[in-house]
Structure 1
């Protein structure tokens, strides 16, 4: 059965609000929660960037049984992989086994801030592969000392280990990244509804039913014009595509890159307005491509409470009726 999740967007909401939304999402009937891990929003209009791991610790205590996931953490520049392993272990304990560690190669927007530069894609993938090895070793309970190509680890040990293993999901965008990371990860994260990529992952992973998680933005509102305006103001950054967006370093750069994007351009790619059937159709390509878990992103902080109470229960019913 396809599962549908709610996205805690740290770029558009403060930490207290995110915890409240997590509780409301669980009550509304969402199957899981994913949380972005950003140091900066994409656009100044979004206006937020609280620490994801601190927020998730609070969410783990405020919610009862809904699964949690980072979507996604880059364990290579802003964080050393040793710290990511410790954070993941602690959160799994707080969440009582509900946590999945979602990892990716990162974006300049969040990683350049520590002054270590922003490497090319090949180096980012090399770093991620090495980081996953370190994280796996530490989560096994071993004391780890390594002198790798990118990272050094000196007698590191996680002292508080969860009883349940921490599943690791990795974001991939093409055949090469699938080939590289499928043997290292438990689950796949995809940015596009690409059936061929899902098939390739499952073949490489050897599991025909492997969990594959994706994400779909929506801009629900009782008035379509308002929904389109909000989507353009706060989500026009998504029009650039991953290759562009991963390399832009600041909100000013995103503003400049999207200055010619029109509201109607955004409305062509994001379902906007009160029609829940339109939203269902915007999600359909993901389950048709083989995604097992699909997280919805409601655009705009000001719309969250009404969306969660008025729209989400009926939307989830429609999605579950339509999906396999």
Structure 2
């Protein structure tokens, strides 16, 4: 059964609104909720970037049923992996076992702020491997000392461990990353409906099978609005960064950089990539490639923080009904 989630976009809403949206999304029937973990929004028009882990702690207490996930946290530069291990264990306790730790190699936009530079992608992946190994070691509850190529841990221990172990999903974007991270992960995370990622994952020794014990968690932006043109305008204003693709987006350091890189992206370019307007059937068609590719979990992003309340009140329930009727 395909599960459908709601995305808590920390780039487009403040912390109290995000908690309120989380409660409303649970009430209308979403199966899970994921949260971005950013220090910057992509574009200044989005206007927000509260601390995701603080928000998720509040969401864990304010909700009862939905699964929660970071989508995704970089545990290598802005955060030390030993601190991420502690945060994840605490959040799992607060969430009564509903939390999954989503990890990735990060974006310059968020990691440059601590002044440690921005390594090449191969180095970032090396760091992520080491970070996952540290987090796994600390989640055993054992006293841990670690001396690696990128991190040191000195006699650390997580004192408050959850009854339900924290599972880890890792964002992957190609065959090399899948081969490297599948044996270290519980779940696959990706933003493109690429069936090849899942078939490659399932061929890797030691990888949890998808579907099976593993899940493939995807994400897609939508811009629902009763007025199609208003939706297109809003998506262009706040989400045109999406047109750049991961290869560009991972390396840009500031909102000014994203504004410059997307200066010539037109409204029609954005509308061609993001379903905009009131047509729920069109949204279903845009989501369909994910379940056809084998994704088990698909999180929706409603573009525009000011539009979320109306989306959840008017469109979310009928959209979920249509999605569940169409999906396997």
Band of TM-score, shorter chain:
over 0.9
Q: 2:13 — aligned with what?
A: 13
Cα separation, 1, equivalents of 2:96 and 2:226: 38
Residue aligned with 1:73, SS: coil
Matched, 1:226 2:234: no
Cα separation, 1, equivalents of 2:216 and 2:274: 21
Matched, 1:282 2:286: yes
Moved over 6 A (4+): none
Q: 2:268 — aligned with what?
A: 264
Residue aligned with 2:238, SS: helix
Q: 1:178 — aligned with what?
A: 178
Deviation at 1:140, TM superposition (A): 1.0
> What's the TM-score once normalised by structure 1's chain length?
0.99
Deviation at 1:202, TM superposition (A): 1.9
User: What does the per-residue CA deviation read over 1:115-173, in whole Å, with 9 as the maximum and x for residues that have no partner?
Assistant: 00000000000000000000000011111101110000000000000010000000000
Deviation at 1:203, TM superposition (A): 2.1
Where does the alignment leave 5 or more consecutive residues of structure 1 unmatched? none
> What's the TM-score once normalised by structure 2's chain length?
0.98
Q: 1:207 — aligned with what?
A: 209
Residue aligned with 2:184, SS: coil
2:220 counterpart (216, 220, 225): 216
Cα separation, 2, equivalents of 1:271 and 1:133: 39
Matched, 1:46 2:50: no
Deviation at 1:208, TM superposition (A): 4.0
Matches within 5 A, 1:1-324: 1-204=1-204, 205-209=207-211, 210-324=214-328
Q: Contact conserved, 2:182 with 2:208, CA < 8 A, in 1?
A: no
Cα separation, 1, equivalents of 2:240 and 2:219: 16
| Count of aligned pairs between the two proteins | 324
Q: Contact conserved, 2:187 with 2:208, CA < 8 A, in 1?
A: no
User: What does the per-residue CA deviation read over 1:36-92, in whole Å, with 9 as the maximum and x for residues that have no partner?
Assistant: 000000000000000000000000000011100000000000000000000000000
Where does the alignment leave 5 or more consecutive residues of structure 2 unmatched? none
User: What does the per-residue CA deviation read over 1:14-38, in whole Å, with 9 as the maximum and x for residues that have no partner?
Assistant: 0000000000000010000000000
Residue aligned with 2:117, SS: coil
Cα separation, 2, equivalents of 1:65 and 1:88: 18
